Structure 1
């Protein structure tokens, strides 16, 4: 069992390194769509890291009650801002929107499932039961009662609001510029 546990930890570390390398390459890329995709990939882990920073700063017992509730919405806001920044033109960026919203739905469910199963010491010896529990928790987290739908809707609303603000700002710039030129 110790060898299996070590192999699982090693696989988790390798997967984390691979995901972080992909995120780094996406965030460093020039096309807006790829950069926004990298932002969507790191949104959920970023919220987890933020919670760890808060706990490290104030301690487990001093975390204000509102902090976990607020932290739940941070990935949606980050994804929404990344999508608004990315825009929808050219049309292929719509795929970035779909992938980022799907990541916002799936990644927290994966984290919950893995955390729950690895945190359950009772079933540590029964691999079949652990895999079954993992599938059940993942299915429940992805389902309509899993809580991901409001987060995805918030990200979509933030993205649309950001697009609206960008559109209004772009329309005002030429008008203000021409007013400035005509008043001279």
Structure 2
């Protein structure tokens, strides 16, 4: 006998993404391939190198990563965005399976990172001059690639933990890389970019702020831990783009043989990038979106708490 009191629907938790465990390493590898999409659009050719041995070829060799001191932001974008995409899939897994899913996905991501890094590093190493400066340059570019890969794995791990407060932190860590990735996807080469692409790239400079704001709004601010996540995420949104700008400016500085000049150039770029009129507006946009999102999340939570549950059937009732 069915219960007659069914007009009021019972609230059910959001459905989780249930995947077979063997599929998660493939999710990781696929995330790396998606992360490399902007570079696929660019043509997968190693950027022109200042320290190339002999005459530069008409077409640079095939490379899965743009290993070059002028492409540090691009490398970070390709690697960290892959970790972010993989982490979002893992975060959607059922809680009891999330730990294993995270480990298996991280394995797939690491395999993808390793394959791309080894192939590109081998091509670069075999094309550079035999000099101390070239070896130092190779070590620096490979080191930056390793740091970028670890950044992607950290983002994946934060999302894989499943805690609400970890999501905005992961998004804030990945936000500058995500913005660079999206801009490169729309406009792989500035030399051939259309006016529409330039306009789209200009709009995409707000993508990190929007992403962080949405993540904070989804997280909500109803506990001390989540409030802490808000503060730290906004600090990261303010600081990280400036740090990335400073590193890129120093790495691309022409007077590479003078460390003091490199440091001075980096500090000047950092000071300019952290000015309130430069770093402040994205934070204000993120806060505005986050407040609206948090209000919506709180209202939905209140409605869920007030919604009557369907009575359980009595013993023996079918």
Q: Does 1:133 align with 2:285?
A: no
The match for 1:84 is 217
The match for 2:154 is 22
Q: Does 1:70 align with 2:203?
A: yes
The 3-state SS of whatever aligns with 1:56 is coil
- Distance apart, 1:38 and its partner CA: 1.1
- Rounded to whole Å, the distance in 2 between the matches of 1:45 and 1:142 is 17
- Rounded to whole Å, the distance in 2 between the matches of 1:84 and 1:91 is 15
The match for 2:236 is 103
- Distance apart, 1:46 and its partner CA: 0.8
Q: Is the 8 A contact 2:220 2:297 kept in 1?
A: no
- Rounded to whole Å, the distance in 2 between the matches of 1:4 and 1:57 is 27
The 3-state SS of whatever aligns with 1:123 is coil
The 3-state SS of whatever aligns with 1:129 is helix
- Rounded to whole Å, the distance in 1 between the matches of 2:229 and 2:239 is 15
- Distance apart, 1:52 and its partner CA: 0.9
Q: Does 1:9 align with 2:146?
A: no
Instruction: Pick the aligned partner of 2:279 from 124, 143, 148.
Output: 148
Q: Does 1:119 align with 2:275?
A: no
The match for 1:163 is 294
TM-superposition CA deviations, 1:102-137 (whole Å, max 9, x none): 1111111112112222223x2122221011110111
Q: CA RMSD in A?
A: 2.3
Moved over 6 A (4+): 174-178
- Rounded to whole Å, the distance in 2 between the matches of 1:71 and 1:59 is 18
For structure 2, list consecutive stretches of 5 or more residues without a partner in the other structure: 1-132, 310-318
- Rounded to whole Å, the distance in 1 between the matches of 2:247 and 2:190 is 26
The count of residues paired between Structure 1 and Structure 2 equals 176
Q: Is the 8 A contact 1:54 1:63 kept in 2?
A: no
Instruction: Pick the aligned partner of 1:50 from 176, 182, 200.
Output: 182
- Rounded to whole Å, the distance in 2 between the matches of 1:58 and 1:14 is 26
- Between Structure 1 and Structure 2, which shows a larger proportion of helix residues? 1
Q: Is the 8 A contact 1:80 1:158 kept in 2?
A: yes
> TM (normalized to structure 2)?
0.51
Q: Is the 8 A contact 1:28 1:35 kept in 2?
A: no
TM-superposition CA deviations, 1:81-118 (whole Å, max 9, x none): 11111111221111111111111111111121122222
